[in-house]
Amino acid sequence: MQQAEIGVFGGSGFYSLLENVREVKVDTPYGAPSDSVFLATVAGRKVAFLPRHGRHHTLPPHMVNYRANVWAMRSLGCQAIISPCAAGSLQKHVEPGSFVVCDQFVDRTSGRKDTFYDGPIVTHVSPADMYSPVLRELAIATIKDHGIPVHATGTVVVIQGPRFSTKAESKWFHDQGWEVINMTQYPEAYLCHELGMGVVNISLITDYDSGVHAGAEAVTAHDVLAVFASNSEKIKKVVLDLISRIPADLSTVSSVGGLEFTRGDGHAATPEDIRLFKLLS
């Protein structure tokens, strides 16, 4: 029985004020998710909330079991994922307090379990245009309606963490023209894509990364948390409003179509060709 249709990776603030929230524990082939999954109804939609760092923020970004988290969402029936996160700015025009709806990522992590396709059937899933264009447009419109400054495009570079960047690294990322820096978008968003779920990222800008801009101080964890706390109500309202705007027909936002010809045997397909995303349907 489908228990959810839309998933949100975020902390307890997203569901703490909702009524009739149900907590469920989900087993996965990849171990335990970061926490229980919290099920609720928002604007008539079945929604699953999962705090990626645990409800008490005890999991640093490099220790999050991303595969378990994403598998749990898909096994509950989710076909669309909203993935908000705190992030730093790499460009002066992307100011703290603004939101960025990213359309590309650059992976600078290392050693993370970042695919469901470990063999023996070789599978290559392209992330060239990974973020759902339908969900992105809805997110941009929702953020604008809430009066929050929003950047409609942006590349997020994902670093390993838990340390922040050096000034040299931050300047390198800045010079590449990338806008946002974060520690969790990869492999979280890509894994959603591998299972055919549409995904959208909303990056809440908390700081200028490592003082890369003249006159800006190097970022500290205290700075990030202070800005994020002051904007937590904004992102919560945006996410809950966005849920109400997602089409009832979730096939319009899913990425299942892009998985059709991803196996190493080319375009060969038979009725016996069972895919992971079909097993979870």
Q: Taking the CB of residue 129, how many other CB atoms lie within 10 A of it? A: 12
User: What is the model's pLDDT at position 120?
Assistant: 84
Residue 234: closest CA among 134, 154, 142: 142
128: exposed, middle or buried (Cβ count in 10 Å: 0-12, 13-18, 19+): exposed
Output the domain CATH number for residue 58: 3.40.50.1580
- Could you tell me if 148 and 238 are in contact, meaning their C-beta atoms sit under 8 angstroms apart? yes
User: What is the model's pLDDT at position 60?
Assistant: 95
Q: pLDDT band for position 214 (50/70/90)?
A: very low
Helix or strand run (H / E) with residue 145: helix 133-145
User: What is the model's pLDDT at position 122?
Assistant: 85
Indicate whether 120 belongs to any domain.
yes
Q: What percent of the chain lies above the pLDDT cut of 90?
A: 73
Q: Number of structural domains, the chain?
A: 1
Question: Is 265 a residue of the active site?
Answer: no
Reply yes or no on whether the pLDDT at 232 is more than 70.
Answer: yes
Q: Specify the pTM.
A: 0.91
- CA separation, residue 158 to residues 55, 87, 259, 262 (Å): 22, 10, 24, 25
Q: Which of 118, 209, 223, 273 is catalytic?
A: 209
Q: Which of 107, 175, 207, 223 is catalytic?
A: 207
Indicate whether 197 belongs to any domain.
yes
What's the whole-number mean pLDDT along residues 175-194?
96
Q: pLDDT band for position 222 (50/70/90)?
A: low
Question: For 156-176, what is each residue's pLDDT tens digit?
Answer: 999 999 999 999 999 999 999
User: What is the model's pLDDT at position 226?
Assistant: 60
Question: Is 114 a residue of the active site?
Answer: no
Indicate whether 1 belongs to any domain.
no
Q: How far apart are CA 201 and CA 131, in angstroms?
A: 8
Domain of residue 206: give its range: 6-279
More confident residue, 218 or 110: 110
Question: Of the ranges 25-39, 46-60, 228-242, which one carries the lowest mean pLDDT score?
Answer: 228-242
The residue assigned the tokens 């939609």 is 45
Question: Of the ranges 1-5, 107-111, 236-240, which one carries the lowest mean pLDDT score?
Answer: 1-5
Indicate whether 29 belongs to any domain.
yes
Indicate whether 258 belongs to any domain.
yes
What's the whole-number mean pLDDT along residues 95-114?
97
Q: How far apart are CA 48 and CA 37, in angstroms?
A: 6
User: What is the model's pLDDT at position 212?
Assistant: 63
User: What is the model's pLDDT at position 233?
Assistant: 83
Q: How far apart are CA 70 and CA 76, in angstroms?
A: 10
Question: For 10-49, what is each residue's pLDDT tens digit?
Answer: 876 777 768 889 999 999 999 999 999 999 999 999 999 9
| Mean pLDDT taken over the chain | 89
